[in-house]
Amino acid sequence: MILKNIAIIGAGGLGKEVAVLIQQINAVNAGWNLIGFYDDCIEHPVIGIPVLGSTEKLNSVSKALAVVIAMGNPQQKQKIADSLHNNNLYFPALIHPSASLGVNVIVGDGTIITAGSRLTVDITIGKHVLLNLNSTIGHDVTIGDYTSIMPGAHLSGFVQIGLGVMVGTGASVLQKLKVGDYARVGAGALVTNNVNSGATVVGVPAREKI
Ligand SMILES: CC(C)(COP(=O)(O)OP(=O)(O)OC[C@H]1O[C@@H](n2cnc3c(N)ncnc32)[C@H](O)[C@@H]1OP(=O)(O)O)[C@@H](O)C(=O)NCCC(=O)NCCS
């Protein structure tokens, strides 16, 4: 079995979790050789895995390399993705073996689906999305590029989540609602109305935070 090289952008907390995710994927179906992290701030090894340089260095990699952007902040993810222009780089989706994907679930490049997440049917997930631990994604949901759905968040049927949205830990969005681009839904919020682009909503029921 030839293993494919993979690198993680971001050696912080999520980066460590993605390193473990890759180990757990390999334990079921060996496919990846994790060569290290790329990070603009951290230089020392993290959990025994080397940091190979800053993100910019990836633009001069001369062989095919899978890359995953391990950052929770949607704007940071988008900035990093926009800064990479090397055709040797590709962005596989990484899906934990315990995640449950139903029927007609489309997952974009670079998306990370971690342990315990459940997605049912007719769902479209964009590029570089994070579905963190135990999130549930109902039927006919769409999620835009760079969005992060934090642990234990729940999206009901027909929900439309825009580009670069952050849905906080334990938040719920009721059926058929739309959350606009770059909006933030606070941890624990219960969204009962559409959320405007760029807005931050918190609480139960969720209200806009000025
Ligand atoms: C909603 C959120 C995005 C706001 O962040 P922020 O703009 O930096 O806001 P602040 O932390 O400065 O808080 C501003 C006010 O909102 C309140 N607030 C913040 N988050 C809240 C939440 N989730 N629910 C209710 N109130 C909240 C704060 O208590 C504070 O109130 P005050 O002005 O009366 O003191 C953030 O608090 C949040 O919930 N992020 C989700 C984090 C998460 O899920 N992380 C997962 C990591 S795996």
Q: Where in the sequence is the domain holding 22, given as residue range(s)?
A: 4-92
Shared domain check, 134 and 103: yes
Phi and psi angles of residue 63, each rounded to the nearest 5 degrees, phi first: -125, 160
pLDDT of residue 1: 78
pLDDT of residue 53: 97
- Closest ligand 1 atom to residue 14 Cα is 48
Q: Whose CA is nearest to atom 31 of ligand 1?
A: 209
Residue 203: inside a domain: no
Q: Could you tell me which of 60, 19, 55, 21 has the C-alpha nearest to residue 36?
A: 19
Shared domain check, 186 and 99: yes
Report how far residue 48's alpha carbon sits from residue 36's, in angstroms, rounded to the nearest whole number: 9
> Considering 45, 61, 92, which residue would you say is the last residue of a domain?
92
Taking every pair of C-alpha atoms in the chain, what is the biggest distance, in angstroms? Answer: 55
> Considering 92, 127, 161, which residue would you say is the last residue of a domain?
92
Report how far residue 176's alpha carbon sits from residue 142's, in angstroms, rounded to the nearest whole number: 11
- Closest ligand 1 atom to residue 13 Cα is 48
Q: Whose CA is nearest to atom 41 of ligand 1?
A: 168
Q: Measuring from each residue's beta carbon to the nearest atom of ligand 1, which residues come in under 6 Å?
A: 72, 132, 150-151, 168-169, 184, 186-188, 200, 202-203, 209
pLDDT of residue 78: 98
Spatial contact of 35 and 6, defined as CB atoms under 8 Å apart: yes
pLDDT of residue 25: 98
Report how far residue 65's alpha carbon sits from residue 145's, in angstroms, rounded to the nearest whole number: 21
pLDDT of residue 181: 98
Residue 202: inside a domain: no
Q: Whose CA is nearest to atom 13 of ligand 1?
A: 209
Residue 52: inside a domain: yes
Residue 186 CA to ligand 1 centre (angstroms): 6
Q: What is the DSSP string of 21-37?
A: HHHHHHHHS--EEEEEE
Q: Could you tell me which of 86, 114, 119, 89 has the C-alpha nearest to residue 101?
A: 119
Q: Whose CA is nearest to atom 11 of ligand 1?
A: 186
Q: Whose CA is nearest to atom 2 of ligand 1?
A: 186
How many domains, the chain?
A: 2
| pLDDT tens digits in sequence order for the chain, 210 residues long | 799 999 999 999 999 999 999 999 999 999 999 999 999 999 999 999 999 999 999 999 999 999 999 999 999 999 999 999 999 999 999 999 999 999 999 999 999 999 999 999 999 999 999 999 999 999 999 999 999 999 999 999 999 999 999 999 999 999 999 999 999 999 999 999 999 999 999 999 999 987
Residue 187 CA to ligand 1 centre (angstroms): 7
Q: Does the annotation count 139 as an active-site position?
A: yes
- Closest ligand 1 atom to residue 168 Cα is 44
Residue with tokens 């971690």: 114
Residue 210: inside a domain: no
pLDDT of residue 128: 98
Q: How much is the pTM?
A: 0.97
Domain with residue 9: its CATH number is 3.40.50.20
Residue 18: inside a domain: yes
Beta sheet of 112-113, edge-to-edge order: 94-95, 112-113, 130-131, 148-149, 166-167, 184-185, 200-202, 207-208
Residue 73: inside a domain: yes
> Considering 92, 126, 144, which residue would you say is the last residue of a domain?
92
Residue 196 CA to ligand 1 centre (angstroms): 17
Shared domain check, 87 and 107: no
- Closest ligand 1 atom to residue 171 Cα is 44
Residue 32: inside a domain: yes
Residue 166: inside a domain: yes
